[in-house]
Homo-oligomer: A and B are copies of this chain.
């Protein structure tokens, strides 16, 4: 594979650099969704995209570079939506509910996102981990920090530590996708279908807004709904 990368330069580029890079990202993303795994080889990606494997090196340096670019692409889409959301003229509680649904839908749409994040943070290079922190963790945390401040200012939220809030909300959303496998083995719980996703969004909205205790929940539903 190493020598192949340096010898076979493709002669046909269907549409220039960006189009080629984009094709590789689309192919990688589709393969990961099909296989429900981030274990895809460069040659599989090349084959699916119709792009020569040598161009991965040209565009992304190596496979981890491609994975990083894929996550960056998806994260950028999400962050744009967060900026749009926070600028809306609606109550902080309504923004929070939309945000919860947004996270869960993003993970459902891109189930490999979780795994890429864990892989690039824990098993790749320190540089890759720094990049993921910069384009994913930091802006998401920053968004939540602003939303929480807005909610406190509007007297809708109690004062809560943003880092702890981030940890619990993102962790709980992650786990629907990361932990589901184990639960289905243990209890006959089914896979994460669109319907399960919708139910989990409702569950998380209710839990984050109003908690589990009955007295709170009744008040919470009234206040929020």
Contacts and interface: CB of A to CB of B under 8 A. Distances in A.
A209 to B, nearest CB: 5
A108 to B, nearest CB: 14
Bin the interface of chain A by size.
35 or more
Interface in A130-156: 130, 132-134, 136-138, 141, 151, 155-156
Interface in A167-181: 167-176, 178-181
B220 A157 contact: no
A187 interface: yes
A1 interface: no
Q: How many copies does the complex hold?
A: 2
A89 to B, nearest CB: 20
A180 to B, nearest CB: 7
Interface of A: 93, 96, 117-118, 121-122, 129-130, 132-134, 136-138, 141, 151, 155-158, 160-161, 163-176, 178-183, 185-187, 189, 199-200, 203-204, 207-220, 223-224
30 contacts: A121-B181, A137-B182, A141-B183, A141-B187, A155-B214, A156-B214, A158-B213, A163-B183, A163-B189, A165-B212, A166-B183, A167-B172, A167-B176, A168-B203, A168-B204, A170-B175, A171-B172, A171-B175, A171-B176, A174-B174, A207-B207, A207-B208, A209-B211, A209-B212, A209-B216, A211-B216, A213-B223, A216-B216, A216-B219, A216-B220
